[in-house]
Structure 1
């Protein structure tokens, strides 16, 4: 293991070193810092060119300038980072990077996670329901989304998910926003069609599932209309209780199956604990705000405590395998905790929407924050989420298609393998065959795709950032290159190069975890 790490580290350093040298030379050839002065009509044009040439050391050989840049960049290894500066504004590159990296991570992290989870889930279901209406629909939708240009999707998102949605939320003639019966019926029919095509069974079973899904959808949408949910959205204790029980069953089915009663009881206990803690948590948030400790460190800390308590509940229930009960309980704690947090967040929606800086138009179309917005942690968090809504939806639609196709193809290949037929011949349940034998191996191809995609997104979503007015890594690279700025461009290349070799290293480790036949020390 130690030999493997040392070899990969030395090879990675060599790759980064050679790539930065090549890119430094190419960038130097592609930019012209004197371009604006060459067309200048100033009487001291020659002196200005001479001064800038001396300032940027353009007369020095490019290798010497690269070595000086490399000396400053290597200082990042021991806390003395010098990546140069923007010679037009004299702003340090490190300060430019700090803001751009934070913006890009904030922009792409949620979209990447959701695209991976949804894409893999839908792809697996599509493979299990091969040649069904659901499979054909997902295949068509995936190819359609994959072929759409990003800028066009972003513009459509602005029109329909921001402008039209803001108009809907504002209501008409002073009336609260209400869903029309036409919309309710169409959505209910679509929900029934999707559920019936995704769930296996004969025609009678599928028809029954479609009816249940359609009725449940109608009931939910009518409930939202009657309670004025679009004006003052919240989850409420009733929906939290019903959803928590549903999540307990779902997580048990995915983790161990309903035959493991101890795991099911562990999950239901976690669901009950979440319902019981709903009201006390309102006071926790209140006192945390007054004490000045309300923030993301507290939220993350409480989430970790919830996972630990849930694992303890699973251990207390025990069963044939305590680890399965602990895992199921911890998995149930994730959505239950998220619902409690989301419910408290939505309770501040009215205050956020009525804020003078928002003016009743909560879904933002540009920028990463609302200027001059004053509010507590909940108001600021809602502002971040509303600004993230459109770019996140755009990135998800584009990335979702590829993950769906990859996971479907991989799952189909695995399901036809000999060991799957052997597992079925032994009398194992279909859930066990899919979740314990097929699903893990179906993730192997994604292990080499997902890390690279994540690094690609961290390198910046140039078009998305431009359309929605986010200044992230992509915008930094494009603006610096067009502005004849070599140091910011090289800083971008350095970060992306390091992340690229790191992504390949992570992919190797993930392969070793998922496939026991692979050893990282080989």
Structure 2
């Protein structure tokens, strides 16, 4: 298993390098990072423009600029930002810290709901619960992420207005001023996470629950499950020990493949609820044509996706011993 993990890591490194190079080339050729400076009226002196060009390494060839950025990573240097007061390394990790708590909590909630609803729907196929779960699954699946987030935000505003109090937080990832100690700060953070987490989790859970239901139905109809039932084992024991473990393998695969989509959903969710996380950092970097900030965002996001896919591959061996022994 260790050798398999090391092989996957070595294969992921070239993928990571190629992805950063492609984004660097596309971002560098799409716009001029100094356009905001050149468009000023009155225009700044030529010396100022040349100074910024030199600071951003725009006076160097494209490949040399990429190589300078790539080698700088080993020194912890993520490159200069268009805003000279911004440290990209500190900013990107702060922003991703805000976003990861949303993604992790939303994924956990979506997985729990998907497993419970998928298993119960498969065990009670064509029951009222199955039809109801199918209806709501397709309902959430058909909702655009931004539209559902806006609906939840408006619902929160309506509840606050009706109660004449702050019941649900609809703006920001945390309050500016919080009176109290650690517990008060933690409660404030969790309160701001309620609506964004529900928005991201339900739109994600919908597809996962359908995969879990289909996988569970396939396993329940297999020969070894029928044999276990014929031996007189209790139904819950057969479902939990023999069926559920194998039925989780396809869900593990689709969860790993959906990491990129979840990151995209987090960008939309953060924009609607006005979080200062990785999503708004990405949009601001695109708007400003901040190439090095885009590269930093891609590097951290791609590393996150690769690590979670590696964890999913290792979970195959935990769920199915035959894979581990092979």
On whether the aligned pair clears a TM of 0.5, the verdict is yes
| 1:400-411 matches, cutoff 5 A | 400-411=205-216
Sort the Cα spacing of 1:4 and 1:158 in 2 relative to 1 into closer, same or farther, 3 A: closer
Instruction: Indicate conservation of the 8 Å contact 1:118/1:400, yes or no.
Output: yes
Extract unaligned runs of 5+ from structure 2: none
Is 1:144 matched with 2:148?
Answer: no
How many Å apart are 1:157 and its aligned residue?
Answer: 1.2
Counterpart of 1:509 in structure 2 is: 314
How many Å apart are 1:133 and its aligned residue?
Answer: 2.0
- Superimposed CA distance per residue, residues 409-445 of structure 1 (whole angstroms, 9 cap, x where no aligned partner): 1101111111111111111111111111111011010
1:461 to 263, 266, 275: 266
Is 1:165 matched with 2:159?
Answer: yes
- Superimposed CA distance per residue, residues 390-425 of structure 1 (whole angstroms, 9 cap, x where no aligned partner): 111111221121121111111011111111111111
Task: Indicate the RMSD between aligned Cα atoms, in angstroms.
Answer: 2.1
How many Å apart are 1:169 and its aligned residue?
Answer: 4.2
Counterpart of 1:124 in structure 2 is: 119
Structure number with bigger Rg: 1
Instruction: Indicate conservation of the 8 Å contact 1:31/1:481, yes or no.
Output: no
TM-score, normalised on structure 2? Answer: 0.92
Extract unaligned runs of 5+ from structure 1: 76-80, 171-359
1:366 to 151, 154, 171: 171
Instruction: Indicate conservation of the 8 Å contact 2:249/2:316, yes or no.
Output: yes
- What is the CA–CA distance in structure 1 between the aligned matches of 2:147 and 2:113, rounded to whole Å? 22
How many Å apart are 1:40 and its aligned residue?
Answer: 3.9
- What is the CA–CA distance in structure 2 between the aligned matches of 1:43 and 1:28, rounded to whole Å? 23
How many Å apart are 1:374 and its aligned residue?
Answer: 1.2
TM-score, normalised on structure 1? Answer: 0.59
| 1:72-471 matches, cutoff 5 A | 72-75=72-75, 81-160=76-155, 162-170=156-164, 360-454=165-259, 456-457=261-262, 461-471=266-276
- Superimposed CA distance per residue, residues 487-514 of structure 1 (whole angstroms, 9 cap, x where no aligned partner): 1110111112222222222121111111
Counterpart of 1:42 in structure 2 is: 42
- Superimposed CA distance per residue, residues 37-81 of structure 1 (whole angstroms, 9 cap, x where no aligned partner): 444443556444433322322231111111110111123xxxxx1
SS in 2 for 1:375: coil
How many Å apart are 1:2 and its aligned residue?
Answer: 4.7
Sort the Cα spacing of 1:511 and 1:43 in 2 relative to 1 into closer, same or farther, 3 A: closer
- Superimposed CA distance per residue, residues 106-138 of structure 1 (whole angstroms, 9 cap, x where no aligned partner): 222222111110111011111111112221221
- What is the CA–CA distance in structure 1 between the aligned matches of 2:96 and 2:226, rounded to whole Å? 48
- What is the CA–CA distance in structure 1 between the aligned matches of 2:8 and 2:105, rounded to whole Å? 30
How many Å apart are 1:458 and its aligned residue?
Answer: 5.0
- What is the CA–CA distance in structure 2 between the aligned matches of 1:449 and 1:48, rounded to whole Å? 51
- What is the CA–CA distance in structure 2 between the aligned matches of 1:463 and 1:505, rounded to whole Å? 26
Size of the aligned set, in residue pairs, is: 326
Is 1:20 matched with 2:20?
Answer: yes
Instruction: Indicate conservation of the 8 Å contact 2:37/2:44, yes or no.
Output: no
Sort the Cα spacing of 1:451 and 1:428 in 2 relative to 1 into closer, same or farther, 3 A: same
SS in 2 for 1:51: helix
